[in-house]
Amino acid sequence: MKEKKSYWTVIAFVLLLACTKKANPDLEKDSQEVSKLLNNSCVPDYGDSIICYQYLSSGKDYKVSPLNNPGQGQYISQPEGLIIDNSTGEINVTKSESGLAFRIGFIADGSQDTCFTKVITSGITYMDGIYVLSDDDTLAVPVYNGNINATPVCGTGGLFSDCEFDDDEDDDNGNGIADEPPPGQTLNSKNIRIDKQTGVISLKRSVLDGIFGTLTPANGKTVEGTLYYRLSDCSNKALRKIDLKFTYYSNLSDVPGALINDITDAVDNILNWLLPSKKEKAPNPRPPHIVIVANR
């Protein structure tokens, strides 16, 4: 009998709370706070895993912030290239590297745990690699949105056909030159032969046309250039850029072992570093290093 009385006492108490909830502002406030805490994750939420750069106006940066509020703490990101406010998590997309996958971590004040999320800045990159021309390994192909398996956005087999690679200073869209590259900076002007519709770089043609200044360049000769491009994706053809590095060797045996190891490690790390279990610092994937070897 005592247990039955206790049971009905609990039920009566619950009913009392239910009846007085709307009349009790303190109780309603407490309920809202509990709901807020339950819905507030320590994982920063940027709404979409792919962040698309948008051109606003000359001198104005496009920025995005987390949709949720994990509270007070510190934001970190890997690899290098993402410009993020360590206190607020706000990302300056304009100044960040495009076409890369980043891991963003949040460490709440008073905690040693890190909550991770992954974001991708829309755009392209090129994989570090050793290309042996005598093996018909002659093309450097763009990688979209940090994913080597992603469907090409532009050109043959791509989603759109009106992308523009190696953009120059001409005012293509009639809105002035504020959103155009500086003059004289195209890759083709430096004999780096890139298809303006697909972004594919012909390494063999580049060598034949004098990317290194001569048909028989010295081993270790290096050339750098900046690719300006526009994609018909969520960025609405806003101007982006990526720096590229090219190095020449006559034979595969001429390539220093240290450089081979660096290239191999760079590729492996870029493919694997996003795994949360990895503790080492992620490598800087920029600029992509394309090593051109004439003969095996």
DSSP code string of 262-280: HHHHHHHHHHHTTSTT--S
Give domain status of residue 12, yes or no. no
Question: Looking at 92, 121, 150, which one is the last position of a domain?
Answer: 121
* Residue 112: domain span: 50-121
Q: Closest by alpha carbon to 177, among 189, 186, 167?
A: 167
Tell me, what DSSP letter sits at residue 209? Answer: T
Whole-prediction pTM value?
Answer: 0.72
On whether both 150 and 265 belong to a single domain, the answer is yes
On whether both 137 and 79 belong to a single domain, the answer is no
What are the CA-CA distances from residue 252 to residues 30, 135, 204, 269 (Å)? 70, 11, 16, 23
- Here the tokens at position 242 are 């990526």
Q: Give pLDDT, residue 168.
A: 73
Give domain status of residue 37, yes or no. no
- Give the residue-averaged pLDDT of 256-262: 86
Interior/surface letters 66-82, b for 16+ CB within 10 angstroms, e for the rest = bebebeebebbbbbebb
* β pairing state of 289-295 and 240-251: parallel
On whether both 165 and 229 belong to a single domain, the answer is yes
How many residues are recorded in the chain? Answer: 296
On whether both 224 and 260 belong to a single domain, the answer is yes
On whether both 74 and 157 belong to a single domain, the answer is no
Q: Give pLDDT, residue 179.
A: 63
CATH number of the domain to which 114 belongs:
2.60.40
On whether both 109 and 222 belong to a single domain, the answer is no
- Here the tokens at position 235 are 């960025």
Tell me, what DSSP letter sits at residue 204? Answer: H
Residue ranges of alpha helices (H) inside the chain are 2-20, 25-39, 203-208, 257-272
- Give the residue-averaged pLDDT of 23-31: 44
pLDDT digits (tens, 9 = 90+) for 81-120: 899 999 999 999 988 888 888 889 999 998 888 898 889 8
Show the 3-state SS of 79-101.
Answer: CCCCCECCCCCCEECCCCCCCEE
Q: Give pLDDT, residue 204.
A: 95
On whether both 63 and 163 belong to a single domain, the answer is no
Give domain status of residue 249, yes or no. yes
> What is the C-alpha to C-alpha distance for residues 83 and 80, in angstroms, rounded to an integer?
8
On whether both 253 and 153 belong to a single domain, the answer is yes
Q: Which conformational region is residue 172 in: left (phi greater than 0), alpha (psi within -120 to 50 degrees), or beta? A: alpha
On whether both 225 and 162 belong to a single domain, the answer is yes
What are the CA-CA distances from residue 223 to residues 138, 244, 248, 255 (Å)? 17, 8, 9, 16
Average pLDDT, the chain: 77
Q: Which residue has the tokens 């206190």?
A: 87
Domain count across the chain: 2
Give domain status of residue 27, yes or no. no
Give domain status of residue 230, yes or no. yes
Question: Looking at 106, 121, 136, which one is the last position of a domain?
Answer: 121
On whether both 87 and 155 belong to a single domain, the answer is no
Question: Looking at 94, 121, 148, which one is the last position of a domain?
Answer: 121
Q: Is 51 helix (H, G, I), strand (E, B) or coil?
A: strand
252: confidence class by pLDDT, cuts 50, 70, 90? very high
Q: What is the CA 32 to chain-centroid distance, rounded? A: 37
On whether both 147 and 206 belong to a single domain, the answer is yes
Q: Give pLDDT, residue 285.
A: 63
> What is the C-alpha to C-alpha distance for residues 274 and 76, in angstroms, rounded to an integer?
14
Q: Closest by alpha carbon to 62, among 91, 35, 31?
A: 91
Least confident residue range of 161-165, 180-184, 195-199: 180-184
Give domain status of residue 5, yes or no. no
On whether both 141 and 281 belong to a single domain, the answer is yes
Give domain status of residue 25, yes or no. no
Give domain status of residue 76, yes or no. yes
Residue 10 pLDDT exceeds 90: no
- Here the tokens at position 289 are 């290093």
Which residues have a Cβ under 8 Å from the Cβ of 85 and sit 6 or more positions away? 75, 91, 92
Which residues have a Cβ under 8 Å from the Cβ of 246 and sit 6 or more positions away? 192, 203, 206, 211, 212, 222, 223, 224, 225, 290, 291, 292
Radius of gyration of the chain (CA): 27
